[in-house]
Amino acid sequence: MSKRCYYEVLGVAREASIEDIKGAYRKLAKEHHPDRNSGDKSSEHKFKEINEAYDVLKDGNKRAAYDRFGHAAFEHGGGGRPPGFDFASSFTDVFDDLFGEFMGGGAKRGRRQNRGGDLRYNMELSLEEAYSGKNAQIRVPTAVKCEACEGSGAEHGSKPETCTACGGQGKVRATQGFFTIERTCPKCRGAGRVVRNPCRDCGGAGLLQKERTLSVDIPPGVEEGTRIRLSGEGQAGLNGGPPGDLYIFLSLRQHAIFQRDAQDLYCRVPIGMAMAALGGEIEVPTLNGSNAKITIPEGTQTGRQFKLRGCGMPILKGHGHLGDLFVEVRVETPVKLSKKQKELLRAFDAESAGTQPETENFFAKMKEFLGGGAQ
Ligand SMILES: [Zn+2]
Ligand SMILES: [Zn+2]
């Protein structure tokens, strides 16, 4: 289910003024108001969509966050996020054509936005790794400052010159009639500087594409969707601008035995009919490496849950606190019985009066119900 772009929902351009947004909202809200379209599900959905979009776009801060991160900016609640963890989204993918962005899109944005792009790195972890945390070495292809020219883009011994067309402003003004129009300087493409002798290592870009190896500490307790921000480890900035950030998006592999719900773990353990009836002891694995023992009481029914306190997942930034492990036992009905086993079970069944109260109770009720219906 992908969400529609908020601008699209309101039918306005990305650069629309707040007045335009208000106007578009009023018109659409009137059209799709539930009072006018009672019972129309699609109108109801649209009305919600419109309100959600307006709620974000009418607020300058929210709108800026949305412009930068898309819907992901609001996917997680604002409160209580641990420091060092950021839940922003919508990044240049690591494997995007990095230079394409710098030479094309980057330059178009002009001098103001010289901060390097953010990078996204997807990492998959096993449940065991999420349990104990880990140190990972990741290789990130990224644009880094060219050492040969120290990022200036000019060949050793020369310097970039201030652009004569714009005087280093990156923008030029042209007067047309009564209007003065400001636009990106065509000579330096907004950089404000012109490199006459381009650096041989980087071709004048001031940046080189390199694969860096970063060491990342994944803390214990991370979950599916946790994002870790490495501040300043994104792409290098242009014209001496600050670098972007690197975001590590974590996902977890399915585990063969355990299901996870936040800090708690769940598993199902089959036990035999005799064990369920007579009681006994079973061992279940835990993620801390040792097996835990569970005492199965006499007469245990299928579906009964046993709680192993502190055998769940560590709580992220929870100072060593752990969730619980819930073990559900399933009584397995034996199959492929031998002749002798069948005989034993028949003999057992003949002696079973009073040992299965629930079954007996049910049939007693059924008898009563059938008897009552006949009157
Ligand atoms: Zn260079
Ligand atoms: Zn210029």
Of 276, 257, 252, nearest to 267 (Cα)? 257
Of 355, 308, 310, nearest to 328 (Cα)? 308
Compute the distance between CA of residue 41 and CA of residue 57 in angstroms, rounded to an integer: 24
* Ligand (nearest to CA of 197): 1
Mean pLDDT lowest among 6-10, 13-17, 53-57, 81-85: 81-85
How many angstroms separate the Cα of 220 from the Cα of each of 129, 223, 294? 8, 9, 26
Separation of 12 CA from ligand 2 center, angstroms? 33
Q: Which helix (H) or strand (E) holds 374?
A: helix 357-374
* Ligand (nearest to CA of 173): 2
Q: Which helix (H) or strand (E) holds 127?
A: helix 127-132
49-93 pLDDT, tens digit each: 888 888 888 888 778 777 777 776 665 433 333 333 333 333 333
Mean pLDDT of all residues in the chain?
82
Separation of 208 CA from ligand 1 center, angstroms? 8
**Pair 163, 138: CB distance under 8 Å:** no
131-154 pLDDT, tens digit each: 999 999 988 877 778 888 888 888
**67 phi, psi to nearest 5 deg:** -60, -35
| Predicted local distance difference test score (pLDDT) of residue 147 | 86
Query: pTM of the entire structure?
Result: 0.56
Separation of 182 CA from ligand 2 center, angstroms? 12
**Pair 160, 187: CB distance under 8 Å:** no
* Ligand (nearest to CA of 164): 2
